[in-house]
Amino acid sequence: MTQTAQMHDAPGGRWPGLVSHERDTNAAEGSAGLILVCEHASNRFAAPWGELGLTEAERQAHIAWDPGALGLARGLAARLGAMLIHAPLSRLIVDCNRAPDHPGAMPARSEVYDIPGNAAIGAQARQDRIAAIYTPFHATLHDAVARQLARGLRPALISVHSFTPVFHGKRRTLEFGVIHDADPTLAQAIVAGADAMTTLRSALNAPYSAADDVTHTLRLHATPYGLPSAMLEVRNDLIATPATQDVMARTLAPVLAHALLESGAQSAPAKAGAR
């Protein structure tokens, strides 16, 4: 059973700023230290930002979100007993997996698309988007991590993404990429597990790597504490429907569970009596 447990209000109340926590309450106790994150979960556009001048087709395209990633993340959270924190609006309004000073945080152009509503945004408008969406998202995540640390647990942090099969006109044969930030241990264990336990064409640090600034969330919340962390990238044509998202979750959940154990990332109490 899934529960949605927390909402945040934006400064001034202009945007309801929903940031969901979800947890499978029937899951095994032992794996509950895993925190799943989905920064590119949504292609929702809302007031006061509107649709940024994008067409319906552009708002459905992969530039606006990671299609299938939220369904996959929910399937993994349910199977692994993980908390799931996902962003409420399109990454084109503000990308929660980019630093506020990164050009991709509110991009004026994404792949081959212009984003008219981001072409000339001023300093105040940028700050407003950060305050309304980015800051509550990361405060929620930091709170979740800090609470587990305070209990003497070492939660693992895994972010769930999807990538487009065709990028700048080139077809990608990769099916499953796993990216790490400073500590490669968990990502390496996941790739090894995927090679051993699935037929997915998998690779480490593909189709991107930390050098492309894609590990912002891991850098903020896992790396400073030395927590096990990884970023999953699944080719979005493999998770286009709820049914295939469920199949992928069923495929990857045992891989993650095994890798968490292998890399010592299971949420064991750090010291006696910590529970």
Q: Where along the sequence are the contacts to Zn ion (CB under 5 A)?
A: 40, 66, 161
Distance CA 65, CA 161 (A): 9
The CB-of-225 to Zn ion minimum distance in angstroms stands at 23
Closest distance to Zn ion from the beta carbon of 63 (Å) = 11
Task: Compute the least distance from the CB of residue 161 to Zn ion, in Å.
Answer: 3
Nearer to Zn ion, 40 or 74 (CB): 40
Nearer to Zn ion, 54 or 153 (CB): 54
Which residue's CB is nearer to Zn ion, number 32 or number 89? 89
Q: State the nearest-atom distance from the C-beta of 182 to Zn ion, in Å.
A: 20
Q: Output 191 or 232, the one with its CB closest to Zn ion.
A: 232
> Judged by CB, which is closer to Zn ion: 40, or 180?
40
Q: Which one, 236 or 267, has the nearer CB to Zn ion?
A: 236
Is residue 123 within 8 Å of residue 101, measured between CB atoms?
A: no
Shortest distance in whole angstroms from residue 98 CB to Zn ion: 10
Nearest-approach distance from CB 190 to Zn ion, in angstroms: 17
Residue with CB nearest Zn ion? 161
